[in-house]
Amino acid sequence: MDLPFENSLTLELFNEPLTQNLVSESVTSLKLPVYNQMILPNSIPLNVTSISLPSHNHIIIPESIPSSVTSLSLPSYNQIIIPNSIPKSIKSLILESFNQNIIPHSLPNSIFLLSLPSYNLPLVSSLSTSSITSLSLKSFNQPLVPNSIPSSVTFLSLSSFNHPLKPNVIPQSVKYLKLSSYNQIITPYSIPSSVEYLVLSSYNQPITPNSILEEIIPQNTHTLDLGSYKHVESLSNLPSSIINLSLDATDCLFSNDEIKAIIPKTIFNINLKRK
């Protein structure tokens, strides 16, 4: 069986074993939506740089993914990752169903973007040696310890996380921090001073004059998303560093004008959402 010669190849119903020379060497992007067979070494040509296998859930063996691949998406994959099975060329890795312990050094240092939406196991130091800059863990809700988040991360999204944060747990490299479910009292220095954009969609702890110091919300934080925050009166205590504020006021008893009158004048952009 010869497959067509295209740079981008999508075979909607293909679910047969891949063999050498089956995919043309001209193909650089390969998508096989229903493919769920073991991938053998040399079955995918070296010119391929992007692979998407939405249904694939077989253990990846070393050298089965060619060293040319930079983007790998395996939405159904939920097997252990064997060290050296993910090539060192990979920059973007998306494993939507993955929820296995991460073996140390199983993820190459080449990865910049890592998305594990289903992952909810302790990180420990599984990722600490990586070069990841964008880390998204949608389901993760385990206590974090120092060095569990790589020091290279600048974008960190922990949508389900709701454990107390301690200082030095989130690295100083993080600029965008999304904690959609977080509703713990923010302790001093638990939010690193590097954070510029802070999302606290579920946060509903009172903001008092003594609780919002520079060591609570960092001086570099200029954008704050508080979701459906209930303690509207205490918004007057927001620090002067905040210039952009988003607030879901759907269930708020205050009018938009009343909310704006409470918010410090140093906030230039106010986004009040009402459904």
Angle 13-18-22 from CA coordinates, rounded to 5°:
95
pLDDT band at 228 (very low <50, low <70, confident <90, very high): confident
Q: Buried (b) or exposed (e) across 163-176, using 16+ Cβ within 10 A?
A: eebeeebbbebbbb
- Burial of 211 from C-beta contacts in 10 A (0-12 / 13-18 / 19+): middle
User: What's the pLDDT tens digit per position in 66-117?
Assistant: 999 999 999 999 999 999 999 999 999 999 999 999 998 899 999 999 999 9
Sorted by where each begins, the domain ranges of the chain are 1-111, 113-275
CATH for 113-275? 3.80.10.10
Residues 120 and 99: beta-carbon distance below 8 Å: yes
Do β-strands 155-157 and 113-115 pair in parallel, antiparallel, or remain unpaired?
unpaired
User: What's the pLDDT tens digit per position in 7-49?
Assistant: 999 999 999 999 888 898 999 999 999 999 999 999 999 999 9
